[in-house]
Amino acid sequence: MYRIITPQTELELNDYFAFRYRMLRQPLGMPPGSEKDEYDSLAEHRMIIDSNGVVLAVARLHLNSSDEVQIRHTAVEPTQRGNGLGSLLMTTLEEAAKKMSVKRVTLFARADSIGFYEKCGYKIAGEAPKEVGGVERCQMIKDIPDKPRFLRHPNWCQELQDTWDTEIPVAHLMGIKVHQFTGYVLETRAALNANLNLHGTMFAGSIYSLATLSGWGLIFLMLKEKGLKGEIVLGDGNIHYHKPLTHVPRALCHVSSVEGNLKALERGRKVRVKLKVNILDEDKPVAEFFGVFVVLPPSKKDKAEPKAAERKQQA
């Protein structure tokens, strides 16, 4: 398990800057201290750590002007690359940028990171000053929309939300919303006021429902990505509650926690899918859900309907 934090204590800041130096400056033969600059005291810093407090990724955001912010010093532990940590950092910092009411985010990308930033929605805008150490870079920009926008697969995310709102009444009553999907992590949120018990904390049953729907939703999106269809049902679920939830109900479900071969649906077989959902109160872990879902292959009728529609269009 890992979590995103804002480094604040002396120990957290020391770990943050040490990681930044090791990843970004030491490979260029630069001395300790070169990882810091004059913007650090005014910037928004984010750090992903594992359950033992080991730093896995870092990034920073600072204002360039009243309309623009810049993301800099983004780094991910090499052994953790490809697990969605970079996308998660970008999403987190872009959320912070929205709260600043800016119009765009800019960054300077090295050649080997351009593809990653393009997947996150950034576009090349021109050349950028060479990095300290002579590394060439280009400037990339992403506009911040007035309305919320999903980082990856916005149409599928909206379809998932519409499915919840129209076919699963409890989701609408609880105010459960798709907050973000990075391609690796699905984050959902719920309205706390709609789920308060007499103690002023979130109902345990509401937390369970948020976790269940989040796991269901990730499988829904994974089926979309693989071009598969199936009916998703909960087979078994266990949840461990650690603390009461009193502020911002969040659920995170990571693709790396999923166990199960969805491709078996193509052979008409049902698939058992195991996964884990982390429940947080804003940034504090409060519960863990372990679910077993069953994905049933589409019926012959469901398979026939698209073909019938195609024949009708051709006619």
CATH number of the domain that residue 87 is part of: 3.40.630.30
Q: Are residues 116 and 164 in the same domain?
A: no
Q: Are residues 180 and 217 in the same domain?
A: yes
Q: Are residues 214 and 121 in the same domain?
A: no
Q: Report how many domains make up the chain.
A: 2
Residue 307, in any domain of the structure: no
pLDDT digits (tens, 9 = 90+) for 94-116: 988 888 878 899 999 998 899 99
Per-residue confidence (pLDDT) for residue 98, from 0 to 100:
84
The larger pLDDT score, comparing residue 175 to residue 16, is at: 16
Which of 198, 199, 176 has its CA nearest to residue 279?
176
The two structure tokens encoding residue 183: 């391609």
Per-residue confidence (pLDDT) for residue 150, from 0 to 100:
61
Whether the Cβ atoms of residue 122 and residue 137 lie closer than 8 Å to each other: no
Residue 94, in any domain of the structure: yes
pLDDT digits (tens, 9 = 90+) for 112-139: 899 999 988 999 999 888 876 677 899 9
Which of 113, 116, 143 has its CA nearest to residue 128?
113
Residue 310, in any domain of the structure: no
Taking residues 234-263, what's their average pLDDT?
95
This prediction's pTM: 0.60
The CATH number of whichever domain residue 159 belongs to comes to: 3.10.129.10
Query: Beta partners for 84?
Result: none
Q: Residue 14: which domain range?
A: 2-143
* pLDDT confidence bin for 312, thresholds 50/70/90: very low
d(CA 32, CA 250): 38
Whether the Cβ atoms of residue 13 and residue 41 lie closer than 8 Å to each other: no
d(CA 315, CA 313): 5
pLDDT digits (tens, 9 = 90+) for 253-286: 999 999 999 999 999 999 999 999 999 998 899 9
Edge-first strand order for the sheet with 231-241 is: 177-181, 185-189, 249-254, 271-281, 284-296, 231-241
Taking residues 189-216, what's their average pLDDT?
93
